[in-house]
Amino acid sequence: MKIAQLHSLFLQSRSACTDTRKIVERDMFFALKGEHFNGNEYAKKAFELGAKYAIIDDPQYALNEKTIIVKDVLETLQELASFHRQYLKTPIIALTGSNGKTTTKELINAVLSKKYTTTATSGNLNNHIGVPLTLLSMAMDTDIGIVEMGANHQGEIAFLCSICQPDFGYITNFGKAHLEGFGGVEGVIKGKSELYEYLIANGKTIFVNANDPIQIDKTKNGSIVTFGSSNQKVNIEFTSANPFVKLRYNALEISSQMIGGYNFTNIAAAIAIGHYFKVEDQKIKLAIEQYVPNNNRSQIIKKGSSRIILDAYNANPTSMREALLNLEKQSGKKIAILGDMLELGDYAEMEHQMIADLATSLHLDRIILIGENFSKTILSNQNITSYLSFEEFLNQFHPSSIGQSTLLIKGSRGMALERVLNLFQN
């Protein structure tokens, strides 16, 4: 079946779905295969749950005329998404970066939705499957699409751009993330800059933090819209972060609900993009002030007499460093519970030692390290303790030992450090 024919069937469906646990009536089910599952086996279940069509690539699972057999389900999903993107002709903003891309995406969506009908990446569905699903979730009434792109190796962003074909782009920063796949920080810069290369080659618009010399250099041949404290067109000034970020935009004072000075640039990017798309200043202010972080990203949670900064969605050396520096600025007793930073490859030992050294150099009352990598670090302070596993930590940790304090919880997704919350009584 040609992709245009499949698209006409897709338009008769509610949406695309790859997981029978999330099937809604009239969905088009895509039977993806993985290392430990074969989606073809779930085609029958999808129909039982109300799917309108099932796309499979193994003929033995064909059930009826609404079972569509293709050569490769994943490739078909990607081709259909690209076709749908061209069909809609919706302006699309793509963003990537080492840190803060999901938070920035949420902020951009909050600002633009004050004036437009937007569709943005759900959660962090930002890979070779998530990006197509985001595109296929866009409808005719979508004024602006906001697509987050993640990557852990060279060529991935370029491939996602070929599917998404963005009209605008923004890179939050270049940091020490996925060093194993990218082969070092220079590899990170090269890989993430594939978004810039696409936008420049196609004459599209790039939003650039004017205070970041690497980004200015990488976009010097592009059509850019700059923002920052040194930029006069979109001038956004950092005021304070004690503990929440406050800033000045034009004549407006904006008080966010986001902790940490590192979130200033994320907020500033959303303001600049809102300004470009002519969202009224008061609506921009309202959007920023109403936004509350969630999904384990810089969440502020009260547990008894403790204030917890839950930033356990992910971690890399760059974001870990910023979180620790922010913790030091807080008042009162300060405690850090840090989990391993994953996907660092040959850099793991060095980077974990650097974070342990940084933590002990700061004015923190207690530091707890969890994981195989952190357990190998050389500890030079009696206020720092390491545990090989979360289970080992669990057996020895008592929330009552913390007392009234500000507690940072941060680690890579694989560490699932949000489990620490279960140890506290409300």
- Per-residue pLDDT tens over the stretch 31-80: 999 888 999 999 999 999 999 999 999 999 999 999 999 999 999 999 99
Average confidence (pLDDT) over 163-167: 97
Q: State residue 425's pLDDT score.
A: 66
| Integer Cα distance of 236 and 229 in angstroms | 5
pLDDT digits (tens, 9 = 90+) for 300-343: 888 878 889 999 988 989 889 999 999 998 888 999 999 999 98
pLDDT > 80? residue 148: yes
| Integer Cα distance of 312 and 412 in angstroms | 7
Average confidence (pLDDT) over 111-116: 98
Residue 233 token pair: 């067109």
Q: State residue 299's pLDDT score.
A: 87
Q: State residue 232's pLDDT score.
A: 60
pLDDT > 90? residue 234: no
Question: How many angstroms from the chain centroid is the CA of residue 159?
Answer: 18
* Beta carbons within 8 Å of 13's beta carbon, 6+ residues apart: 26, 27, 28, 52, 53
pLDDT digits (tens, 9 = 90+) for 357-394: 999 999 999 999 999 999 999 988 888 999 999 999 99
- Phi, psi (5° rounding) for residue 285? -55, -45
Q: Which has more confidence, 179 or 165?
A: 165
What proportion of the chain, given as a percentage, has pLDDT over 90? 75
Residue 280 token pair: 């009224």
Kindly report which listed range (219-233, 253-267, 344-358) carries the lowest average pLDDT score: 219-233
pLDDT > 80? residue 8: yes
Tokens 């669990």 correspond to what residue? 394
Smallest CA-to-CA distance from 285 within 323, 327, 257 is with: 257
| Integer Cα distance of 228 and 235 in angstroms | 6
pLDDT > 90? residue 188: no
Domains of the chain: 3-71 (3.40.1390.10), 90-290 (3.40.1190.10), 299-423 (3.90.190.20)
| Integer Cα distance of 218 and 283 in angstroms | 32
| Integer Cα distance of 323 and 336 in angstroms | 10
Q: State residue 169's pLDDT score.
A: 98
| Pair 377, 385: CB distance under 8 Å | no
pTM for the structure as a whole: 0.90
User: 21 vs 48, 53, 121, 181, CA distance in Å?
Assistant: 12, 16, 20, 31
